Amino acid sequence: MALRKRVCASLLPLHFLESSAMTTIARTQDDLNLLLDEQLEFLKLSCASFDNGFEGEIKRLAVSVRVLAHDTNASTSLLTLTNRKNTNFLDTADPYDNENVWSHSSLVQIHMTPQGAKPKAHLDDGIQSTQITFDAWWNGIVLVDLEKNEFSRKDIVLYLANKDGGAHVDHEIDERYHNLRTKNSLGWISVLGDGRKIAGEDQVPATMRQIAHELIKSLDSSYTCTQPVAQDTGMVMCGMSLVAGAHTPESRFPNLRKDRPTVGGKKVGRNDPCPCGSSKKYKKCCI
C-alpha cells in the first residue's frame, strides 16, 4: 500500500504540483494599521491583567512589544511596516550615571512596606520624561547590576519573549539574566518590620510593565495609567545613585546606550569627550 501511494504521487500532473506552491500578496496599509491597533489592544489588556496581580503576563507583554518593535534579517516589525519608527518615543527612565558605584534600576519605584521593598512600575506618576528616537529608546540602558552588566529595553523584551516563556523556552538561559531575576544581582535588601533582612524582589516584571507603558503612550497619547499606592506603603524611592563627590544639577539628557562606542577598551561615559571628535561631552553630542 505504501508503495502504491508513492507511485500515485509520482504520477500527479505537473500543473497540479505547480498550483500547490504558496503565493503571496502585499498587505495594504489599512491592513497593517489594523494589525498595529490589535497589538496595542493586546498590550493594554495584558497591562490590565498584570496590574490585577498576574505577574506572568509580562511574557505576553514582551511578545507583543517584540512584534511591534523588533526587526531582524528574517522579519520586519509592525512599527517599521507602518512607518512609525520615525516618530519620537516616551522615555521615563532615570538617567544612568556611569560613575554610579551601585546598581541602577531606571523604570522602577521601590515602595517600602512592612512586608519589604516592593518594586513597582513608574507608570504616569509625575516623573520626568522626554521624547527620544526609537533607536535611543530601544537600546537605552534601563538596568545595571552590581557587576556592571547592562540591560536595555531590547534585552529585557527579547529575554522574556525568546528565552523565558513568552514565545519560546530555551533549555539554557543567559547567566546574567538568570542572576538578575533569581540571584538579586541588583543587590537590594529589604528590612522587614521585625528587623529581618531578605533579598530584594525581582525588578524585571515592573521594568517590563513600564516598557509596555512607554510604548503604548508613544503610540496612543490618550492612554493614561497611574500607580496606586497601598495604604501600608511608607517611603517611595526611585532614581537612586551612589557616586563619589557631588554632581552639579544639569538638564535632562538622553540615557546612555548599551551599544555606545568604546575608547581604549572602555565604554564612553556621559561626561567623556565624544568619540566623534566634536570636542563636546558625549551626553551633549552623539549620545
From the list 109, 140, 138, 112, the residue with the least C-alpha distance to 122 is 109
Residue 195 resides in a domain? yes
Give the best-scoring range by mean pLDDT among 120-134, 231-245, 254-268: 120-134
How wide is the angle at C-alpha 239 spanned by C-alphas 235 and 244, nearest 5°? 110
In a domain, 3, yes or no: no
Q: Is 241 exposed, middle or buried, given 0-12, 13-18 or 19+ CB atoms closer than 10 A? A: middle
Within-domain flag for 22: no
Amino acid residing at 85: K
- Does one domain contain both 77 and 167? yes
Domain range holding 51?
A: 29-256
Same domain (yes/no): 237, 282: no
pLDDT surpassing 50 at residue 43? yes
Q: What is the largest CA-CA distance in the chain?
A: 85
CA-wise closest residue to 146 among 182, 192, 105: 105
Asked whether 142 and 93 are in contact (CB, 8 A), the reply is yes
Residue with cell 522574556: 160
**Is the residue at 41 inside a domain?**
yes
Q: Is residue 140 part of a domain?
A: yes
Phi then psi for 185, rounded to 5 degrees?
Answer: -70, -10
| Lowest mean pLDDT segment, chosen from 3-17, 181-195, 220-234 | 3-17
Q: Write down the pLDDT at residue 265.
A: 76
| Same domain membership, residue 79 and residue 186 | yes
Q: What is the grid cell recorded at 133?
A: 528616537
Cell of 110: 521601590
Question: Which band of pLDDT confidence, cut at 50, 70 and 90, is reported for residue 152?
Answer: very high
The yes-or-no verdict on residue 252 having pLDDT over 70 is no
Question: What pLDDT does 189 receive?
Answer: 82
pLDDT for the residue numbered 198: 82
Q: How confident is the model at residue 286 (pLDDT cuts 50, 70, 90)?
A: confident
Mean pLDDT over 29-46 rounds to 97
Helix (H) or strand (E) holding 267: strand 266-267
Name the pLDDT band for 208 (thresholds 50, 70, 90): very high
Contact by Cβ (8 Å): 247, 216: no
Same domain (yes/no): 93, 198: yes
161 in the same domain as 187: yes
Q: What is the pLDDT of residues 85-134, one digit of tens each?
A: 999 999 999 888 878 888 999 999 887 777 777 899 999 986 778 999 99
Q: What pLDDT, on a 0 to 100 scale, did the predictor assign at position 231?
A: 61
Say yes or no to pLDDT of 191 above 80: no
- Count: domains in the chain: 2
Residue 127 is predicted with a pLDDT of 74
pLDDT above 60 for 266:
yes
- Judge whether 61 lies within some domain: yes
Q: Are residues 167 and 33 in the same domain?
A: yes
Q: Give the model's pLDDT for residue 7.
A: 45
Arithmetic mean of pLDDT, 138-166: 96
Query: Is residue 8 in some structural domain?
Result: no
Q: What is the pLDDT of residue 151?
A: 97
Counting residues of the chain whose pLDDT is more than 90, the rounded percentage is 57
Q: Kindly state the cell numbers that stand for 255.
A: 540615557
Average pLDDT, the chain: 86
Across 210-230, average pLDDT: 90
Do 150 and 88 belong together in one domain?
yes
In a domain? residue 157: yes
Strand 108-113 to 236-237 pairing? antiparallel
For 107-118, the pLDDT digits (tens) are 998 877 777 778
Name 173's Cβ contacts closer than 8 Å, sequence gap at least 6.
163, 164
Residues 148 and 262 in one domain: no
For every residue of 115-184, DSSP letters joined together read: TEEEEEE-TTSS---EEE-HHHHHHBEEEE-TT--EEEHHHHHHIIIIIBSSS-B-SS--HHHHHHHHS-
Reduce the DSSP state of residue 112 to 3 states and report it.
strand
Find where cell 512589544 sits: 65
More confident residue, 41 or 125: 41
Say whether both 47 and 130 belong to one domain. Answer: yes
Q: In whole angstroms, what is the distance from residue 49 CA to residue 47 CA?
A: 5
Contact 57, 50 (CB under 8 A): yes
- Cα separation, 185 vs 176, whole angstroms: 8
* Residue 213 confidence (pLDDT) above 60: yes
Q: Is 191 strand, coil or helix?
A: strand
> In terms of domains, do 181 and 280 share one?
no
Q: Are residues 105 and 147 in the same domain?
A: yes
Note whether 53 and 170 are same-domain residues. Answer: yes
